Structure formats: structure tokens, C-alpha cells
A and B are shown apart, each in its own frame.
Chain A
Amino acid sequence: MDGIKILYTFELPYLGQVVITETVRNSFIVVLLILALCLILTHKMEKIPRKMTQKAAEKLVLMTEKFVVSNMGSRWRAFTPYIMALFGSSIFGSLISLTSLRSVTADINVTLTWGVVTFIMIHFFSIRQKGVLGDLKGLLEPIPVLLPMNIISELATPVSMGFRHFGNALAGTIISTLIYQALAGLTTLLFGIGIPFLQVGVPAVLSLYFDLFSGVMQAFIFCLLTMIYISNATAEE
């Protein structure tokens, strides 16, 4: 298991040395992919949908909106684009590993950043609704003695979200690498030839679970947790 490759670095005035890693490059690819997908899906839409792409686009928007509304209530309808963005970034960031590029989500910097964004949103919306004191008062509930626990629990939210996603994506990558190497060893052991033909096909089936399934699962969980935390923090009593 290699580390994350640093592709190149450059100096910027006042900002210091900028480091472009594999993760950053791949996440740009993901952004372009999402842009292309959005443009293809909404290309030449009509009032009466005839094209599959438009039907897919409508289905996607309506499904996500339903997902958001069922978890957060209809007043959070405008939150749908963010969930779509998060879901898209996460899922394509994980699935990019299917093209032998490194997963974007297998970098703690990425998933932790997303976790911190969720954390900031939780408290931004909470403060917007209840005020700073109202938000801080939540730390004293249900009894003031629990204050330290509550502080830890609040801080643990982005950390747990970030590490969960990171761990899952990384585990997928590690297992895939292990399987590749194990299969190469197995071919040599069983048939005594240097061509690792068992590497064909078998990893694909396994990566269906480790990359595809867990990638979708983690994106889903991340979005679900984001919505639930925000909606809990802003719940109206």
C-alpha cells in the first residue's frame, strides 16, 4: 500500500508551497465528470420528457429531494443541491478507484474536510435559528453535568464521519491491493508460471463489493448523517 503520490509542487507568493497530490488531481477529474454528467442529463430538456437522460435527471432530482424532505422536513427542500453535490463528490470520489486511479475518499484530508463542513453547517443553522446562546445551551442538556461529554460528542461528530468514510474507502483500496498480490502469488504457487491470470475477473467481482457497494453505502451514510445532524440541531420544540 503506497502513500498518496505528490504530483507536483509550486511556490505562490504569500501562500508558500502549494502541493498538488494525486487526491487533488483526481478530485478535479471528479468535478469535471460531475459537470459533464449534469450537462448531458439536462441537455435539451423538453416539457414532455422523451429522452432517457431527461427522465434520469428528473428522477435523480426528485429522489434526492424526497430523501432530503423525508429526513429534514419540507422546509429544507433548498438543501437538496448540497446533498446532491456531497453525494456526487463522495460516490464518484470512491468509484474513481474502478479506473485504477486512487480514490479521492481514501485521503483523510478530504473526508475530514467534508465532516468539518457538516459540523460548521450544524452550528451555523443552529445559531441562525436559536442564536449563539441557544446553540450553546444544547451542550447543557439534558443535565448540565454532561457538559464535557457533550463537548466531546460534538467534536467527535466530524471526526467520526470523516474517519468512517476514510476508513471504508481505504480498506477497500487495501483489500483490493492485497487480493491482487495474493492472486499473483496463488497463480505462481498453483501453476508455477509467471503469468498471474487469476488476476483477471476475480478482483472485479470482489471490487463490486469493496468499491462499488461500500462506496455507495458510505456516500449514502455520509449524506444521511449530515441531514440528520442538521435537522436535529434545528428541530423545533
Chain B
Amino acid sequence: MLKFLAEDAVQGIMTPNQWTVIFTLLNLLLVYFIVKRFLYKPVKAMLDAREKEVSETYLAADQARENAESMQEEYRQRLAHAKQEASEIVSSASRKAALNSEQILTQAKEQASALLEKADRQIADEKKRAVNEMKNEISDIALLAAAKVLERDLTAEDHERLIEEFIENAEDITWQK
């Protein structure tokens, strides 16, 4: 069935040949499907996948940035809150301290004044007692001196008079220890 022709069997360059037309059509169709199936579609699928991935990456990046921004805002607020709290604590503490110190000062003052009063009272008592003791001693000495001077017994009236005189004189003297 297959018939090989001699080497010089040719067809004119303008001769119509329906088989060449048919094969050309078939080949064009074949090339179309080859290009579509093996080049165009795989490359487009790859480009689409890449584009999708890129857009997804961008989306994820945007979300991450939004998250970060909201977190930053939150932390900023928290920090501001903490600062306010801290300053409140400090101010209330210093207020309390001032109050305390005032109280302590007044207490101390009261105590001091009480101590001073007590000391004053003691001093006055001591003084009184010393004066009384001195009076007794002086009266004894005076009696002794008088007895020595007079070498005689005195009447009770003389006694009294002499003692009074002495004490009167003695009171004018400034006592030194």
C-alpha cells in the first residue's frame, strides 16, 4: 500500500494539495493543544500560584503589622496607666509621711513640755525643801551660838525674839550652796 516514489517526483510550488492542507490544519491544531497544555497552562498556573502566595504574604504581613500596632498602643496605654498609678502612690505616701511627721512633732513637743513642767515642779519642791532644811539648821546653829555667847539660859521669850531677829537678818543673805 505504501508507495515510495522516485527521488525526482516533485510537485510544483504553487500546486494545490488537499493533503498538505489537511495536515497543516491538523498540525496547527496539534501545536495549539501542545502549547496550551504543555506551556501556557502550566506557566499560567505557576504565575497564578505565585501571585496568590505573594498576595497572601502581603495580607499576613499587613495583619502582623496591625497586630503589632494595636499591641504597641495597648502597651503605651498600660505604661501611661502605670505611671499615673505610681505618681498617685508616691503622692499619697508623701502625704501620709507629712501627716505622720507632724503628729510625731506635736507629740514630741507635748512630751517635752510635760517633762519641762515636771522638772520645774521638782526644782520648786527641792528648793522649798532645801529652804526648810536650811531654816532648821540655821535655827539650831543660832541657838548654839546664842548659848555660847550668853552662856546662860534664856527665857522662852528671849529665845523666840532672838531667833526671829536672826532669821530676819539671815534672810537678807544670799545663800550659796
Chain A residues within CB distance 8 Å of chain B: 1-11, 18-21, 23-24, 27-28, 30-31, 34-35, 38-39, 41-42, 45, 47-48, 54, 57-58, 60-62, 80-82, 84-86, 88-89, 106-110, 112-114, 117, 170
Q: Please report whether the interface of chain A is mostly helix, strand, loop or mixed according to DSSP.
A: helix
Tell me which residues across on chain A come within 8 A of B32, comparing CB atoms.
Answer: 81-82, 85
Given A10-B2, A81-B39, 4 other A-B residues pairs in contact with their CB atoms under 8 A = A31-B31, A58-B47, A60-B39, A89-B28
> A61 touching B44 by the CB < 8 A rule?
yes
> B10 touching A4 by the CB < 8 A rule?
yes
Docked pose: A10 CA to B5 CA in angstroms: 10
Docked pose: A6 CA to B12 CA in angstroms: 10
B118 at the interface (CB under 8 A from A): no
With A3-B11, A58-B46, A108-B14 in contact, do A42 and B38 touch (Cβ < 8 Å)?
yes
Docked pose: A88 CA to B34 CA in angstroms: 11
| Shortest distance from the beta carbon of A130 to any chain B beta carbon, whole Å | 25
Tell me which residues across on chain B come within 8 A of A58, comparing CB atoms.
Answer: 43, 46-47
With A9-B3, A109-B16 in contact, do A4 and B11 touch (Cβ < 8 Å)?
yes
> B19 touching A38 by the CB < 8 A rule?
no
Chain B residues within CB distance 8 Å of chain A: 1-5, 7, 9-17, 19-21, 23-25, 27-28, 30-32, 34-36, 38-40, 42-44, 46-47, 49-50, 53
> B31 touching A8 by the CB < 8 A rule?
no
Tell me which residues across on chain A come within 8 A of B7, comparing CB atoms.
Answer: 5
| Shortest distance from the beta carbon of A102 to any chain B beta carbon, whole Å | 10
Tell me which residues across on chain B come within 8 A of A86, comparing CB atoms.
Answer: 28
- Other-chain residue from A6, A81, A89 in contact with B10 (beta carbon distance below 8 A): A6
> B11 touching A61 by the CB < 8 A rule?
no
> A109 touching B39 by the CB < 8 A rule?
no
> A10 touching B38 by the CB < 8 A rule?
no
With A3-B11, A60-B39, A86-B28 in contact, do A8 and B5 touch (Cβ < 8 Å)?
yes
